[in-house]
Chain A
Amino acid sequence: MRFVQLLLAVLAGASFAATANVPPVAAAPAGRAAHGMAAAGPAAAPKANRSTADHSKFKELRQSFKSGPEVTKACLSCHTEAAKQVHKTKHWTWEWVNPENNQKLGKKHIVNNFCTATASNEKFCNACHAGYGWEDDKFDFTSETNVDCLVCHDTTGSYKKLPGLAGHPTYKDIEYPPKSGKIVKAVDLPKVAQNVGRTSRATCGACHFYGGGGDAVKHGDLDSSLKNPARYLDVHMDAKGLNFTCATCHATQGHDIPGSRYTPTGKAEDAAHMRGKENKGNAASCQACHGSAPHKATDRLNSHTGKIACQTCHIPQFARAQATKMSWDWSTAGKLTPDGKRMQIKDASGHHDRYDSNKGDFTYESDVVPEYAWVNGKVKYTLLGDPVNTQGVTRINEYGGSPTDGASRIWPLKVFRGKQPYDLETRSLLVPHTAVGYGEKDDSGFWANYKWDAALKAGAEAAGRPFGGKFDFVSTEMSWPITHMVAPKADALTCTQCHSKSGRLQGIKGVYMPRRDANGILDLIGWLAVLGTFVGVLIHGGLRVYLGRKG
């Protein structure tokens, strides 16, 4: 009795001690902003300016600019090749042809299961295009002054491109979102132009943290918490530590930025890159700095690196600072209040919508345990016109990979699940026309009138696809390799988190894992040996007793 009481007291005391002095609840998402609106300025702690040029002293930039293209023209008067370089990048073209299968990818062509596609929605989506004025298929991709230098090189944190303005910032004070009563001030172009500098987590994040229509929606490992991250969230970007910017890893030459979801590196080169020496490998891989044997020479872990991506162990969970969207069901969109108004219903956390008339049902999750798969870097997309699987799940993108191709590693993935419209006649995905330009009236936009027929017809026309008039919704999945939010090494996965029957890699096939896998014949032999030993002991003992009595 005393013992039990003592034990209980110790247990309870330990429990109390472990939870004392702890903040009450999970931190709320920091500074969630509207679509595509980066809320903060440069994330990094102030550093000494190492630039050899003070742009505020350049007479070319001491003008009263009226528009973004005017600023670009001034930039190009010195940086004569910059626009030509940008023109060659995916940030400009939003297009990339996969040499493996000739699929045309890039935001211009793919359809995802978030906001679906850009066709017919250009004025809204193209707030994240590194250019000015792309509002339909007539955009001039050869124009150098249409390149937006400021969106990547702003250091003031005041340059914002609002959805609905076709890639322009606002040049006058406007009410945004419309009818919200909130005023967004006109951008101070001379100030921004005179304060250009290197890219930062904030400038890259202005788009990449807000992909899919909001903060933390799309990627799971990229969100606004990385503007100023703590060590637990990312050891490399830790604002008080190594303080990496995006470009520290995505080392850029001539505006060509390595690393892409369309061309992921399944199995990076084995040796660390020598900085300054030409190397055609992916500079944004872990191996580019750490090599392929990053653990102690005697460490068993090095034998894992040929089959397991670094990210699998070193990013044990993603969305660790704020929840990421995990599913999106478009089929329920369009429900309105009895008086015909848009509904937005919060989820259990109170921080996110679980239903929005504009978009349908969502689920969010924080500290997500990834799913895992073999990835060799090859990817096949289900594009507009491709058949969907109406009886099951259509994979929007499917990564190649196998344990035997010599090019794959086991990668962590965010698998985003949804339901989206498809054409009952062509049995292929459809693009809804959702958003309209700022201040415009367009009855075919779904967010204006909640009529699927009109929205899908307008979307199909803009995408150059047929629309038979009848549609339904199909279940889809899209996978996103997880590669940011690298945890401190002490938080890497332990052996048993994979090496167990119910471990994280229980679904991975084609590789033998001790403690997870068993060979039936070997097990049978082992148990027979145990049984034989037991029987032998019994016989031996029995004989000794029997013969002893017999004398």
Chain B
Amino acid sequence: MLRIVASFTAGIAFAAVLTWNLMGGLMFHEHPSPFGVEETVARIQQNIVAAGNGWSLSGLRNPAAAVKADGGNALPVMMVEACSTKYSGPILNDDSVRFLSILMPCKISVYKKNDGKTYIGAMNAGLLGPMFGSLVGDIMGKVATDQAKFIIMDPSKPTPQIIYPKATGGGGGGGGGSGC
């Protein structure tokens, strides 16, 4: 009996360690981009604008610029922010999950690594959503589907230009009028 309990406990411990190590990789995903940082950003923005489902751009942030302003260096990072009130509204109207507003707006990060290549990073909305119940799971599933379309890089399409935010207040996000 002792052996069974010990084996079971060891199995749980092993599974916990494994989950802990894999969790980071599961919650976010990363894809290489065939384009440079700026062109990747511009193409993601173009995809968002064309996506429908209420999606609009809510900001463009540059965390690396803050590091430079502070006297240091950082490889380029630009964060495209997008929001759809169609998806955010129901979550914001439910007290039990309103704290998830902390994840809004939806962010897609575009950055360069030390190999000189550009990457796209995003939250795995499809995996995270169901952890917060059926309402959030359902919405996040749809977000994940749209998000996958945002990061499609189609070289046959001409290079668009970055859409810079009109306003720069409030930490630099720029208002997009999307309500997020």
* Residues in B neighbouring A503, C-beta threshold 8 A: 114
Asked if B168 and A24 make an inter-chain contact with CB atoms under 8 angstroms apart, the answer reads yes
Asked if B171 and A22 make an inter-chain contact with CB atoms under 8 angstroms apart, the answer reads yes
CB distance from A33 to the nearest CB of B (A): 22
> A483–B160 Cα gap in the complex (Å)?
34
Q: Give how many A residues have a beta carbon under 8 Å from the other chain's beta carbons.
A: 48
> A317–B66 Cα gap in the complex (Å)?
17
* Partner of B65 from A26, A347, A502 at Cβ < 8 Å: A26
Query: Does any Cβ of B come within 8 Å of A548's Cβ?
Result: no
* Residues in B neighbouring A491, C-beta threshold 8 A: 72-73
CB distance from B129 to the nearest CB of A (A): 11
Asked if B72 and A490 make an inter-chain contact with CB atoms under 8 angstroms apart, the answer reads yes
> A7–B42 Cα gap in the complex (Å)?
32
Query: Does any Cβ of B come within 8 Å of A105's Cβ?
Result: no
Query: Does any Cβ of B come within 8 Å of A231's Cβ?
Result: yes
> A8–B26 Cα gap in the complex (Å)?
12
| Contacts A24-B168, A26-B62; A365 near B36 (Cβ below 8 A) | yes
| Contacts A21-B171, A24-B173; A349 near B38 (Cβ below 8 A) | yes
> A92–B114 Cα gap in the complex (Å)?
40
| Contacts A26-B78, A368-B116; A349 near B162 (Cβ below 8 A) | yes
Asked if B73 and A232 make an inter-chain contact with CB atoms under 8 angstroms apart, the answer reads yes
Chain B residue nearest in CB terms to A20? B171
| Contacts A5-B131, A22-B172, A27-B65; A348 near B114 (Cβ below 8 A) | no
Asked if B131 and A230 make an inter-chain contact with CB atoms under 8 angstroms apart, the answer reads no
Query: Does any Cβ of A come within 8 Å of B18's Cβ?
Result: no
* Residues in A neighbouring B76, C-beta threshold 8 A: 26, 366-367
| Contacts A346-B161, A369-B114, A369-B116; A317 near B73 (Cβ below 8 A) | yes
> A493–B42 Cα gap in the complex (Å)?
30
* Residues in B neighbouring A19, C-beta threshold 8 A: 61, 63, 66, 79, 171
Query: Does any Cβ of B come within 8 Å of A497's Cβ?
Result: yes
CB distance from B35 to the nearest CB of A (A): 8
* Residues in A neighbouring B43, C-beta threshold 8 A: 348
Bits for A84-104, please: 1 = Cβ < 8 Å to B, else 0: 000000000000000000000
Asked if B73 and A22 make an inter-chain contact with CB atoms under 8 angstroms apart, the answer reads no
Chain B residue nearest in CB terms to A231? B71
Bits for A363-375, please: 1 = Cβ < 8 Å to B, else 0: 1011111000000
Query: Does any Cβ of B come within 8 Å of A464's Cβ?
Result: no
Asked if B73 and A25 make an inter-chain contact with CB atoms under 8 angstroms apart, the answer reads no
Query: Does any Cβ of A come within 8 Å of B159's Cβ?
Result: yes
Asked if B161 and A348 make an inter-chain contact with CB atoms under 8 angstroms apart, the answer reads yes
> A442–B174 Cα gap in the complex (Å)?
50
> A27–B67 Cα gap in the complex (Å)?
13
CB distance from B88 to the nearest CB of A (A): 14
Interface residues of B in 44-102 (CB under 8 A from A): 59-73, 75-76, 78-79, 99, 102
* Residues in B neighbouring A487, C-beta threshold 8 A: 73
* Partner of A350 from B102, B161, B173 at Cβ < 8 Å: B161
Query: Does any Cβ of B come within 8 Å of A276's Cβ?
Result: no
| Contacts A347-B38, A354-B159, A369-B116; A22 near B72 (Cβ below 8 A) | no
Chain A residue nearest in CB terms to B168? A24
Chain A residue nearest in CB terms to B166? A24
| Contacts A22-B171, A25-B78, A317-B73; A4 near B131 (Cβ below 8 A) | yes
Asked if A23 and B69 make an inter-chain contact with CB atoms under 8 angstroms apart, the answer reads yes
CB distance from B118 to the nearest CB of A (A): 10
* Residues in B neighbouring A439, C-beta threshold 8 A: none
CB distance from B59 to the nearest CB of A (A): 7
* Residues in A neighbouring B63, C-beta threshold 8 A: 18-19, 22
Asked if B62 and A16 make an inter-chain contact with CB atoms under 8 angstroms apart, the answer reads no
> A21–B112 Cα gap in the complex (Å)?
22
Chain B residue nearest in CB terms to A350? B161
> A16–B38 Cα gap in the complex (Å)?
22
CB distance from A241 to the nearest CB of B (A): 9
* Residues in A neighbouring B159, C-beta threshold 8 A: 347-348, 354
Interface residues of B in 104-131 (CB under 8 A from A): 107, 112, 114-116, 128, 131
* Residues in B neighbouring A547, C-beta threshold 8 A: none
Query: Does any Cβ of A come within 8 Å of B103's Cβ?
Result: yes
Query: Does any Cβ of B come within 8 Å of A529's Cβ?
Result: no
Query: Does any Cβ of B come within 8 Å of A153's Cβ?
Result: no
CB distance from B157 to the nearest CB of A (A): 12
Asked if A504 and B132 make an inter-chain contact with CB atoms under 8 angstroms apart, the answer reads no
Asked if B164 and A24 make an inter-chain contact with CB atoms under 8 angstroms apart, the answer reads yes
Asked if A23 and B168 make an inter-chain contact with CB atoms under 8 angstroms apart, the answer reads yes
* Partner of B72 from A24, A367, A488, A502 at Cβ < 8 Å: A488
Chain A interface (Cβ < 8 Å from any Cβ of B): 1, 4-5, 7-9, 11-13, 15-16, 18-27, 230-233, 316-317, 320, 346-350, 354, 363, 365-369, 487-488, 490-491, 497, 502-504
- A-B contact sample (7 more), CB < 8 A, given A23-B168, A348-B38, A348-B42: A12-B102, A21-B171, A346-B161, A348-B35, A348-B161, A367-B112, A503-B114
Q: What would 22 A/B residue contacts be, using CB atoms closer than 8 Å?
A: A4-B131, A8-B128, A9-B99, A12-B102, A18-B63, A19-B66, A19-B79, A22-B61, A22-B63, A22-B65, A23-B66, A26-B64, A233-B68, A346-B161, A348-B39, A348-B43, A349-B161, A350-B164, A365-B36, A367-B64, A369-B112, A503-B114
Which A-B residue pairs are the 7 nearest by beta carbons? A369-B116, A348-B42, A348-B39, A491-B73, A24-B172, A22-B66, A348-B38
